[in-house]
Amino acid sequence: MRAPIKYVLTAQVFRSIISLVLLVGMSSIEAEPLPFEACPTRAFIIQKPGSVPKTYGVDMATGSYSTFSEDMGTVNGYNGVGFSEHDSFLYGWDYQRNQVSRTGTDFQITDIGSFNKDTQSEAAGNFFVGDVAINENAWYGYRKNHGMFKVPLDTGASYLMSYIPGSIDGASHTIMDMAFHPSDGYIYAMTSSTNSHLIQIDPATGLSSNLGLVLTSPNKMTFGAQFFDVNGNMYISDNHTGIIYKVNIASLSAEAFSYGPSSTSNDGARCANADIPVASNVDFGDAPDSYGTLMASNGARHETSSALYLGDLVDNESDAHLPLLSDDLSDGSDDEDGISFPTGFEVGEQAMINAAVSGTSGSGYLNAWFDWNANGSFEADERAISAQAISNGNNSIAFTVPVWAVAGPSWARFRISSTADIIAKGGVADGEVEDYPVVVTTTGVAMTYYPNASSYTAVAYEDLFPLEGDFDMNDVIMHLRFIHYVKSGMIHSIRIKARLVAMGAGFHNGFAIQIPGLLRSNIHEASISWTIDGVTQSTSPLETGQTNAVFIFADDLWHYATADEGEGCKYFRTQAGCGSSAVIEWDMTVPFVNSVSASAMPGVPFDPFIFSAPGYSHGQIVTDLIGSDPGRGLEIHLKNKAPTDKFDNRLLGAGHDISNPATGSYFQNADGQPWALEVPDTWSYPLERQSLNETYGEFMGFAGDISGETNSTWYLNANGPVYVNKN
């Protein structure tokens, strides 16, 4: 049987009930309105879904709301509402009276007395943006293209609305509400747009500052209700969706905090010095806090009731209990009983879950997330079940484990609610959240290696492009190994191991690999894992602004190597006695969004290339051609490999280069010599300033034959000095 749900009648709810009783019992009696309790924690939302304004009380922690008043006593609007901490009344713009009016516990809009306006106030008309100040008992109103206006509220029976001189200069923003900060004295407002900016306004002058972009959306956002909590967190409610966002004004960031009522007409007020308490009837998740579990992390939470939940049990807590002491263990009640797993979770295969739904409402929506890449967070593309309608009883739902999922232990989160489209974190007014540890598996996956499982291929570069230079081909030498993960003839991810073997470059070069024909959009960027010398990297190596997938291993290889040992050492492992046996290693695993047929995958070693490190010169001829240091615009690729989208095409055909994109000819001179070449890692490369042509006499015959068949083993027959420490 289902354990009983405990309900606690809080003092605030009790006062609200008493207020409603008084409203009903005294509806026919003219009485002076009573103030609200000092600094209530609930937010007041004023909406006009029909012909008259209504008042809601919103629990900020979960977004649950109740109706305080169905009728505020007017057929016109009531907007620009603020809570006065000086007398505990609501004040807002009364469209019927064309002035500021007052509201108390009866939730009726009341005339405050004689109301006068100066000339500018009269010309401004009605107001829908306003709030009551914290450090003075005064209502402030904003009107776009008119300015800021002030109404002192402690003047007795006569009130004067006056224009703040010069404030019209800051009144260019499209805002639908504003809120006083609890401590810094400024007004803040979010603009209504698809790109919403945070505006700071000085109430003394009305002048404003655009602090920056905070939220973007494909649809216009209209924030008709905006308010603060005692810690200086700003909350904004989108009229269209009812989503309440929590805004960090210092970092200019926002996240969905809870889901409240939506309306085309929406205004809000709240005591700015109130905190955001958690009621006693709230259910939290149980996953580690990196997934958004504790209240401090805007954890997943639901206001519980008998209307809708998963399984037979749902319990309440004041905050989440994290593993290994989840609420199931801490209170002896295991309420993670609504989801069962008839199948496992195998990479690339279909899986199934069963969801048992209970409650008097009979139906709701299920959303579920799996941490497929095991990085400790639920990301947008890890939502396996999205707004799935389910009803009382057992519901079976199938989905596919993505090919980029990482095998091993992980976590899943399931949320049921009457709200269809919710995210993995934040508060919801009903339902339940259940978190489960899961294990992702993989079978039938084969690994193919290039060149093989125990050795590397080498790529060597001459960096004086487009001039031939000394052609010692040791300016950069990298060793590479590639691993393909293949299942049923489809590649779902690749691994690249790279080692910096030598660097005889006077210039500063970066290193990257392009995969021709593999779209950047088919890389699951959030799941890329890579290390440099065993240290995990937190930044993405996938370069932006590219059509193909391009991975940046290093912006400047000189950050990872020094000339090191010996007197007179200028370069890394290209001079006798210079450079230790240690090499720098990269290890990168790249998952695909969609598997690629092994037969369609571009050939290895793909397209490894070096490029000019930003901020450094790369020779006078390059500067003359481009007019500045080339930055990413200079790339050096293997023979007949096309450059990336970031290459500066003015370099093609310059100097000794005879590149011709029309014939697919790139990065070679008239003799067929390349600026980059691939050879086995057993190759002994020339010492510094020793031309490859002289060190390996058979090379020219190989370079001049487009078929690559002439002198194909040229690298085995050195007749000049080479660097002997290759490992």
Question: For residue range 98-127, what is the model confidence (pLDDT) as tens digits?
Answer: 999 999 999 999 999 999 999 999 999 999
Q: Which of 461, 560, 565, 552 lies closest to 511, judged by CA?
A: 552
Half-sphere CA count of 700, side-chain side, radius 13 A: 8
* Helices first, then strands: H and E counts in the chain: 6, 45
Residue 319 CB coordination number (10 Å): 15
- CATH architecture of the region 282-441: Sandwich (2.60)
Residues of the chain with CATH 2.60.40.10: 282-441
346, pLDDT greater than 90: yes
Whether residue 468 contacts residue 669, with contact meaning beta carbons closer than 8 Å, is answered with yes
**Predicted pLDDT of residue 581:** 65
| Residues in Cβ contact with 686 at an 8 Å cutoff, skipping those fewer than 6 apart | 472, 473, 474, 692, 695, 696, 720, 721, 722, 723
**Predicted pLDDT of residue 469:** 81
Residues of the chain with CATH 2.120.10: 11-269
- CATH architecture of the region 11-269: 6 Propeller (2.120)
Which residues are bridge partners to 503 per DSSP? Answer: 572
Q: Which of 192, 189, 197, 77 lies closest to 142, judged by CA?
A: 189
**Predicted pLDDT of residue 449:** 96
Backbone phi, then psi, for 649, in 5-degree steps?
A: -65, -10
723, pLDDT greater than 90: no
Average pLDDT in the chain:
90
| pTM given for the model | 0.80
Q: Which of 368, 367, 369, 374 lies closest to 410, judged by CA?
A: 374
Which residues are bridge partners to 636 per DSSP? Answer: 610
Q: Which of 335, 374, 377, 378 lies closest to 358, judged by CA?
A: 335
Whether residue 633 contacts residue 510, with contact meaning beta carbons closer than 8 Å, is answered with no
What token pair was written down for 552?
Answer: 């940046």
171, pLDDT greater than 70: yes
What token pair was written down for 663?
Answer: 């014939």
Strands 138-143 and 129-132: antiparallel
**How far is the C-alpha of 358 from the C-alpha of 362, rounded, in Å?**
7
Q: Which of 454, 461, 400 lies closest to 610, judged by CA?
A: 461
What token pair was written down for 578?
Answer: 């210079």
Average pLDDT over residues 424-434: 95
18, pLDDT greater than 80: no
**How far is the C-alpha of 467 from the C-alpha of 633, rounded, in Å?**
16
Q: How many percent of the chain have pLDDT more than 70?
A: 92
> Among the ranges 498-512, 695-709, 711-725, which has the highest mean pLDDT value?
498-512
